[in-house]
Amino acid sequence: MRTTILNDGILLIDKPVGKTSNQVIQIIKKKLGINKIGHAGTLDPLATGLLVVLLNNGTKISDYLLTADKGYDVTMKLFIKTDSGDITGKIIEEITPFKMKRKIIKKAFESFNGFIYEQYPPKYSAIKVSGKKLYEYARAEQEVQITPRTVTIQSIKFKSYNHVTQTIQFSVICSKGTYVRSLVEDIAYKMGILATVQQLTRVQSGNFKLADAVKVEDVSHNDIISMYDALFINKQPLLMYHYDEEIRQGKPIVIINHSDPNIFIIDKHKNVLAIYKHIGKHVYACQRGLWSNEQGPTLISKGEKY
């Protein structure tokens, strides 16, 4: 009996410290023989934890996974500020340490709970300004105007304060686009001090959990989550449509009793065939085909871009 190896879908990876997100996905690409690969939200080299890796046709659903809220466990180092916003950077400002009052700490964290605000991204980030990434300006010591972005701190919890190590630990669930490095500096400002990120672990992305992730050195095809399961876990609208050929031809279809702006069409085998967009009066138009005709493992093509 022949077993079909799953190649389209996602992987939940526990990223180690010291590696970039790109380095991690390149290791997986080579190990599993994947053509196209990406991820749904980068992690800095200092950061560890959940990296949602997208494989082959799974890269086509990135927009529907990137919008999910993220959860982090964070350790902030007090009384210093670095150019990068984390402990790996150069110290550019510091103040004499002192023992803080817990009520001041708690009050600062409470002020960010459920808070929507305009956050300035770190200058060492991948946001582009005039076609150039902010960290490229920073490395070249060039000044550039940074525009704030609206972010939402869904919930934040102060966990502990250590006077000896001068650190605070907290957990946070925040919207897409939130920079924890900036959040740490903003919380410190609220307390009247300086701070930078010492440790950061992503513990969730949407409904994906770090507890379900695997180490990059242990990853195998058996760890791939199908596109159907990935979308189902994150509560995306899925609908079985019996006329596969119409979907593969990209024909508009009529769907009654649905008003979702986008629907993922599946067949009876739970294969995700396409994304359909609502265009009015129960009519949905094909936005993107997602089916795969591949069988067995995919070979790496020379010069393939991820």
Tokens for 112?
């960010």
∠ CA 157-160-163, rounded to 5°: 140
Burial 185-205 (b: 16+ CB within 10 A, else e): bbbbebbebbbbbbbbbbbbb
Q: What share of the chain is helix, strand, coil (3-state, %, to 5)?
A: 25, 35, 40
Q: Which two tokens stand for residue 233?
A: 């876990």
The secondary structure of 205-228 as a DSSP string is ETTEEGGG-EEGGG--GGGPBPHH
Task: Copy the structure tokens of residue 274.
Answer: 């396409």
Query: Do 284 and 257 contact (CB within 8 A), yes or no?
Result: no
The verdict on whether 44 is a catalytic residue reads yes
Residue 178, Cβ density class (10 Å: 0-12 exposed, 13-18 middle, ≥19 buried): buried
Contact (CB, 8 A) for 221 and 56:
no
**Is 137 exposed, middle or buried (CB count within 10 Å of its CB: 0-12, 13-18, 19+)?**
middle
17 residue type, one letter? V
Instruction: Considering the candidates 8, 14, 44, 223, report the single residue annotated as catalytic.
Output: 44
Q: Which two tokens stand for residue 16?
A: 């180690």
Residue matched to tokens 């009247």: 192
Residues annotated as part of the active site: 44
